[in-house]
Amino acid sequence: MTNVLYEVADQVATITINRPEALNALNGDVLKDLGSAVAQAAADRVRAVLVTGAGEKAFVAGADIAAMATMTPREAQAFSELGNTVFRQVERLPMPTIAVVNGFALGGGCELALSCDVRLASVKAVFGQPEVGLGITPGFGGTQRLARTVGIGLAKEIIFSGRNIDATRALAIGLVNSVYEPAELMPAALKMAAGIAAKAPVAVRAAKAAINLGIQTDIDSGIALEAAYFATCFATEDQTEGMTAFVEKRKPAPFQDK
Ligand code: DAK
């Protein structure tokens, strides 16, 4: 997996897109390696996953334009299927994912960040969906996930204009959760991940599933879904320990994912 680095520390996985010489642009090999890293995080049952880009300049500057420029329709179809499969794999990871946006997040890079649960950005981060300027539509879910994140009107403005937006504007429109000085970004992401990792993992995963599935349905079905996930927590030792500790006025023992 040379195109993507995968590390685990303290139950938190860090996935780094590692092609800084091309601003971490996504070609087929990078996408395949990203898929392998995501599968590894799922298999390792880590409690949170950070996704970031190598180097100082970019999170991911998009799909690889040079590679796409010469694709045949058949190759474009395969590339599209691969990318969408991998991005759905990111989105469907059961544990929380945090995009650590350290620089350019354009096109497929913005879409990768949108596939994560939370986005933290450097003040240097730049977001955008410039695809229409290249004669294509966003293709890795941008039309869908951006509209769901910032609302239809702003998503249309961003996609139709192809204009970049800076971190301050991204924060104002809810595209990112928080913005940090570059040196503070990864420490903040690790701190957030550690905080999540310390909570009851079954409950965290159930909450993620309830939000992600519930947002696609009507409110009554969503509430029913929430109730079902809530009930499953009562089959866990972590629920027993969490509530018993509260009643006994003590700190819970570290949660065991059981
Ligand atoms: N693809 C390939 N190479 C890229 C790249 C990209 N997206 N972005 C940057 N690079 C390469 C540059 O070519 C350059 O390589 P060398 O010339 O050194 O060999 C190197 O990275 C450094 O870039 P620059 O020299 O351009 O650096 P600057 O600081 O001057 O500019 C920049 C940074 C981010 C403003 C600029 O590089 C830029 O505009 N890059 C392209 C950004 C962009 O347009 N991204 C969106 C790509 S389109 C679909 C699936 C997916 C998609 C669409 C459809 N379907 C399934 C239907 C996705 C599309 C996209 O993501």
- CATH number of the domain where residue 109 is located: 3.90.226.10
Its domain, for residue 224, covers 201-247
Residues 120 and 181 placed together within one structural domain of the fold: yes
Confidence at 149, pLDDT banded by 50, 70, 90: very high
The whole-number average pLDDT for the span 10-25 is 98
> Is position 242 within any domain?
yes
* Cα-to-centroid distance, 211 and ligand 1 (Å): 33
Instruction: Give dist(CA 132, CA 234) in Å, integer.
Output: 49
Q: Which is catalytic among the residues 131, 226, 241, 248? A: 131
List all residues 6 or more positions away from 120 whose beta carbon is below 8 Å from its beta carbon. 98, 99, 100, 101, 176, 177, 178, 179, 180, 185, 188, 189, 192
How many domains does one find in the chain? 2
How much is the pLDDT for 206? Answer: 98
Instruction: Give dist(CA 195, CA 177) in Å, integer.
Output: 16
Instruction: Give dist(CA 130, CA 141) in Å, integer.
Output: 14
Q: Which atom of ligand 1 is nearest to the CA of 84?
A: 56
First-to-last CA distance in the chain?
31
Contact 189, 98 (CB under 8 A): yes
The whole-number average pLDDT for the span 87-116 is 98
The model's pLDDT over 18-62, given as tens digits with 9 standing for 90+, comes to: 999 999 999 999 999 999 999 999 999 999 999 999 999 999 999
List all residues 6 or more positions away from 19 whose beta carbon is below 8 Å from its beta carbon. 3, 25, 27, 30, 54
The whole-number average pLDDT for the span 91-116 is 98
> Is position 254 within any domain?
no
How much is the pLDDT for 208? Answer: 98
Q: Establish whether 131 is a catalytic residue.
A: yes
> Is pLDDT at 235 greater than 90 in this prediction?
yes
> Is position 98 within any domain?
yes
Which of 29, 65, 81 has most ligand 1 atoms within 8 Å of CB, for mutation?
65
Q: Establish whether 111 is a catalytic residue.
A: yes
How much is the pLDDT for 134? Answer: 94
Residues 122 and 81 placed together within one structural domain of the fold: yes
Domain end (from 197, 215, 239): 197
The whole-number average pLDDT for the span 153-167 is 98
How much is the pLDDT for 75? Answer: 92
Instruction: Give dist(CA 243, CA 227) in Å, integer.
Output: 18
Q: Which is catalytic among the residues 7, 21, 91, 111? A: 111
> Is position 182 within any domain?
yes
How much is the pLDDT for 198? Answer: 97
> Is position 230 within any domain?
yes
Mean pLDDT of the chain: 97
